[in-house]
Amino acid sequence: MRKQLKGVTLKRQKNWIDKHEESLLVGNSYIPFWTVHDVRSSGVKCKIKHFREDRVVHLLSQNEVCQFMLLAFDQAVIDTKEQFALPLAETLVLAKELDVKHPVYPGTKVPIVQTIDFICDINTSKKGIAVKQHDEIFKVRSVEKLAIQEAYCAKRGFEFEITTSKDLKIEPVRNLERIYRHAKLNPLLKPMLADWLETFLVTIDQAPDERASKLLRMSADKVGIDFSIAAHFFYHSIWHHKIDIHWERPLFLEFSAIDLGLSKVNAGSIITAGAAA
């Protein structure tokens, strides 16, 4: 249900906060403070399945989608919480300490709950990530809001990072978007994956100049599965760090194995989908 933002009161906002904070308790499913239903936007908003938890993730921009892809692919990331609300009493104090005006709802004196785009559990540490359009980070009001977020993270010993559209709208991230829906494997197909992967890697070695689509067809025929299942295995194996690619190239099947840089990932290797990968 969409939040009614017109004429918002502290009492109404407190109900939203209580619902959000209750979802943080152990055993409950996380509910982001803002959802795609709350925010009016002419840009991209989407709901997507979480990479580990059985819940829906609410992403409010294309930049957030891109950032989520990188977090989901990173093996060091244990969990993510999007649109994470900061305690209002705390951000009011931080704003005063920073000598900046705390954001309020238009036409009111009601302070707006500040949120961080992502709070992440990374191994044994936590990180807050703010996601912005590149030109936004140079605007005074954005700088002030980011300062509040950074101060909150610093107070808790969290790392704080700002990523922009310049960092995110790159080919490696587009490749992750292409394969994310293949991250989870149907349990009924799992017994066939290892046999297909071994066959596919041998096929690459035997015909590296062939198009990836033909290699997938050849591997499918050899193990007796449909082409669509072989393609699913292919994308799934890339996502789960079994097959590496040239991340800077579009992952199109009309390219050859050599062009795509298809190769087996050695045990212990760390694959990243950043610009330097």
pLDDT (tens digit per residue) in 123-175: 989 999 999 999 999 999 999 999 999 999 999 999 999 999 999 999 999 99
pTM: 0.92
Query: Could you tell me if residue 270 is left (phi over 0), alpha (psi between -120 and 50 degrees) or otherwise beta?
Result: beta
Q: What is the pLDDT of residue 5?
A: 83
Instruction: Tell me the C-alpha distance between 69 and 66, whole Å.
Output: 5
| Range scoring the smallest mean pLDDT among 67-71, 259-263, 265-269 | 265-269
* Statement: residue 271 has pLDDT above 80: no
For residues 20 and 14, give the distance between their C-alpha atoms in angstroms, rounded to a whole number: 10
Rounded distance, CA 118 to CA 131, Å? 8
Confidence of residue 277 (pLDDT cuts 50, 70, 90): very low
| Residue 194 binned pLDDT confidence (cut-offs 50, 70, 90) | very high
Token pair, residue 155, equals 């107070």
What does the block give as tokens for 36?
A: 């795609």
| Per-residue confidence band for 26, with pLDDT thresholds at 50, 70 and 90 | confident
Could you tell me which residues come within 8 angstroms of residue 263 by beta carbon, excluding any fewer than 6 positions away? 204, 243, 244
- pLDDT score for 28: 85
Q: For the chain, give me the number of helices (H) and strands (E)?
A: 10, 8
> What's the average model confidence in pLDDT over 31-40?
92
- The overall average pLDDT reported for the chain is 93
The torsion angles phi and psi of 79, rounded to 5 degrees, stand at -155, 155
The DSSP string of 96-149 is: HHHT-PPPB-TTS-PBPPPEEEEEEEETTEEEEEEEE-GGGGGSHHHHHHHHHH
Amino acid at 114: Q
Q: Under a CB-based contact definition with an 8 Å cutoff, are residues 37 and 1 in contact?
A: yes
- Backbone φ and ψ for 80, nearest 5 degrees, come out as -135, 145
Q: Render pLDDT for 215-263 as a digit per residue (tens, 0 to 9).
A: 999 999 999 999 999 999 999 999 999 999 999 999 999 999 999 999 9
d(CA 185, CA 174): 21
Q: List, in order of start, the domains of the chain with CATH numbers.
A: 10-169 (3.40.1350.10), 174-264 (1.10.10.10)
pLDDT of the residue at 267: 60
